[in-house]
Amino acid sequence: CEDEDLEVDPLGPSEPVVGDEWTVWLRCNGTTLTGTMVLQVDPAEFASIEENVVTFLMAGTAEMTVTVGAYRATMDITVVNPE
């Protein structure tokens, strides 16, 4: 798998609000990568993480990094307050 083929695939609302959850997978050309996953959000207080489920705790922007084995991908996240 080449770096340009990696994608963070969040399952959840495409425009998340505070309190929403995403189940996150790392995929290569549509295939889910398996193994030990490390999921991080920067800043850390932006979300809580339980295995591969992210719960958004505040509004704003953050960067999520997903690592499985030697593969790593990042994505920017924007979360808004509920209306």
Note the pLDDT tens digit of each residue in 15-30. 999 999 999 999 999 9
Q: Considering the entire predicted model, what is its pTM?
A: 0.91
User: Which among 9, 71, 12, 66 is positioned nearest to 41, based on CA atoms?
Assistant: 66
Query: Phi first, then psi: what are they for 15, rounded to 5°?
Result: -125, 80
Q: Is the model's pLDDT at 48 over the cut of 90? A: yes
Residue 63 is predicted with a pLDDT of 98
Are the CB atoms for 18 and 5 separated by under 8 Å?
no
Q: What percent of the chain has pLDDT over 90?
A: 92
In angstroms, rounded to a whole number, what is the distance separating the alpha carbons of residues 57 and 2? 33
